Copies of this chain bind each other. A is one copy, B any other.
Amino acid sequence: MATVSSVDLAGLGGTTSAQVRKDLSIFGSFGKRGLGYSVADLTARLRGILGLEHIWRVCIAGAGRIGSALVRYPGFAARGFHIAAAYDADPERIGSQWGELRVRDIRELGSDAARERFDIGVIAVPADAAQHVADVMVASGISAIMNFAPVQIATPPQVVVRTVNMVLEFEALSFALANREK
Contacts and interface: CB of A to CB of B under 8 A. Distances in A.
Interface of A: 12-14, 49-52, 54, 56, 65-66, 68-70, 72-73, 75-76, 79-81, 119-120, 143-144, 146, 150, 152, 158, 160, 162, 164, 166-167, 169-180
Given A51-B177, A69-B66, A146-B173, A14 B152 contact: yes
* Identical copies in the complex: 2
A interface SS class: helix
Contacts of A174: 50-52, 54, 56, 80-81
A65 B70 CA distance: 9
Contacts of A54: 174, 177-178
A16 B174 CA distance: 25
Nearest to A81: B170
A143 B70 CA distance: 29
Nearest to A72: B65
